[in-house]
Structure 1
Amino acid sequence: MAGKTALVLGGTGAVGKTLVRDLLHNGGFSRITTVGRREFEYDGPNKNILVQKVIDFEKVDDFKDVFVGHDVVFCTLGTTRAQAGSASRFVEIDKGYVISSAKIIKQQNQDRDIHYLYCSTTGANKNSSFLYPRTKGEIEHELGDVGFKRVTIFRPGFLKVEEERTDRGSFEKYVVGAAIGFMKLVGSKSYVDVATVGKAMRRYAVGESSISPDAKTLENGTQFEIIDNKSILELGAEK
């Protein structure tokens, strides 16, 4: 990947922070650009290749220039219904930000064969009756329609974060706590550390992988791949 550039959307989120750190610590790219609502705090190795762009995703069309000149795109953008405030607002942010920025990236880099990697979730299904997996499934489907050379979807299990979220309501905290307890009962392969997800995304992007994803070629020519939680754990565990 020497000489190639990477773009990270959502670099201040739970998965995004670990991904950016992993990218910078392990090299492989000549430049790493983060695009988000605030800057990522970092003072480690290869800081000189980190470029940070703060934008307003509500006015993403005003920031088209920041999306020019990237070969690999990592997207870890996401929110919760509680954080968004309503179901409709959740969809506007979780799906709207991802798809609108993806379309701009494609428009601004017509001469590049972009590899787009997106962090989704286990159970994503555009036909689901539940909001969260349905929205993630819709995002996956629409990313396939954008026209990138290659789209890789990561579907991690329940995410073990580095720090407790402070934006959850009491009911959501109860559900999260119950889910963690259940995951521990059914086995460690049902959940995954955010750092493992970040490492898996980086390793797959740079070709440090021996796994065989569920892959197909879409009608528009896009190579569309899905990597499940089992494969994420394998990728993240490899030396």
Structure 2
Amino acid sequence: MARVLIAGATGAVGQEVLRLALADSQVERVVAPTRRALSPHPRLENPLVDYASLSGSEPWWEVDAVICTLGTTIGKAGSQEAFRRVDRDYPLAVARHALMHGARSYALNSSVGADAGSKTFYLRTKGEVERDLDALGYCSYTIVRPSVIWGERQEVRLGESLAIFALTALRPVVPRRYRVVPAVRIAKALLDRALAGVPGRKVLESEQL
């Protein structure tokens, strides 16, 4: 039985990870720190937090596995600096705190094309967080790199909605790597890898989902 921490449980992928984890007999307890309260569940611990203020001394960091689905857009964040804070700094802080308390497995929802050497700010940031998480030394580290995600979101992302429409219409001629990926499929891959805790670093590209 595992204790799993989900960072980003209110997003499209995070909601699916939470649902799957609470239904999984391998999961003893789910810790989901969020800014607003989630629906209660007997096996859910839901500390209300500000990710910018986490100290690492909170008792709920004592978990076996971490699944991180934190992410935003530059438009919503308001600046590149704010975007980096959510997509790079917070996942790293979560990883450090959980590792310090004994976590052995970390699964990250990243992006197709993530590359620390990219000229594109978004892809470079995603690549940087992948690289920096790898350096922390988790026993098991999984990176999932989906293309455009289809799923239920709290907010409307116009650009993403248009991309989903176009990619769905053109699906027969779109390379598998760039096809729309259902959020539940990404969530299942993240949860399965986090619970399995297979030693080493594993990258799952979009076409493998």
TM-score (norm 2): 0.88
State which of 81, 90, 101 in structure 1 corresponds to 2:83: 90
Provide the C-alpha distance between the structure 1 equivalents of 2:27 and 2:114, rounded to a whole number of angstroms. Answer: 30
Q: Is residue 193 of structure 2 the alignment partner of residue 227 of structure 1? A: no
Partner of 1:107: 100
State which of 5, 8, 30 in structure 1 corresponds to 2:6: 8
Structure 1: 5+ residue runs without aligned partners? 208-214, 216-221, 233-239
Shift of 1:13: 1.0
Shift of 1:165: 2.6
Provide the C-alpha distance between the structure 1 equivalents of 2:164 and 2:147, rounded to a whole number of angstroms. Answer: 11
Q: Secondary structure at the match of 2:45?
A: strand
Partner of 1:194: 183
Provide the C-alpha distance between the structure 1 equivalents of 2:149 and 2:124, rounded to a whole number of angstroms. Answer: 18
Provide the C-alpha distance between the structure 2 equivalents of 1:148 and 1:69, rounded to a whole number of angstroms. Answer: 15
Provide the C-alpha distance between the structure 1 equivalents of 2:95 and 2:195, rounded to a whole number of angstroms. Answer: 20
Q: Secondary structure at the match of 1:36?
A: coil
Shift of 1:164: 7.0
Deviates more, 1:181-190 or 1:73-82: 181-190
Deviations 1:67-117 (A, max 9, x none): 5321111111111111111111111221111112211222222xx5x1100
Letter in structure 2 aligned against 1:59: S
Partner of 2:74: 81
TM-score (norm 1): 0.78
Q: Is residue 140 of structure 2 the alignment partner of residue 160 of structure 1? A: no
Provide the C-alpha distance between the structure 2 equivalents of 1:93 and 1:165, rounded to a whole number of angstroms. Answer: 16
Aligned CA-pair RMSD? 2.1
Q: Is residue 130 of structure 2 the alignment partner of residue 140 of structure 1? A: yes
Asked whether the 8 Å contact 1:67–1:108 carries over to 2, the reply is no
Partner of 1:206: 195
Q: Tell me the number of residue pairs that the alignment of Structure 1 and Structure 2 aligns.
A: 203
The answer to which structure, 1 or 2, has the higher relative contact order (CA under 8 A, 6+ apart) is: 2
State which of 54, 60, 64 in structure 1 corresponds to 2:54: 60
Partner of 1:179: 163
Shift of 1:176: 2.8
Provide the C-alpha distance between the structure 2 equivalents of 1:224 and 1:49, rounded to a whole number of angstroms. Answer: 29
Partner of 1:69: 62
Letter in structure 2 aligned against 1:6: V
Q: Is residue 115 of structure 2 the alignment partner of residue 125 of structure 1? A: yes
Determine what percentage of the aligned residue pairs are the same residue.
Answer: 28
Asked whether the 8 Å contact 2:111–2:146 carries over to 1, the reply is yes
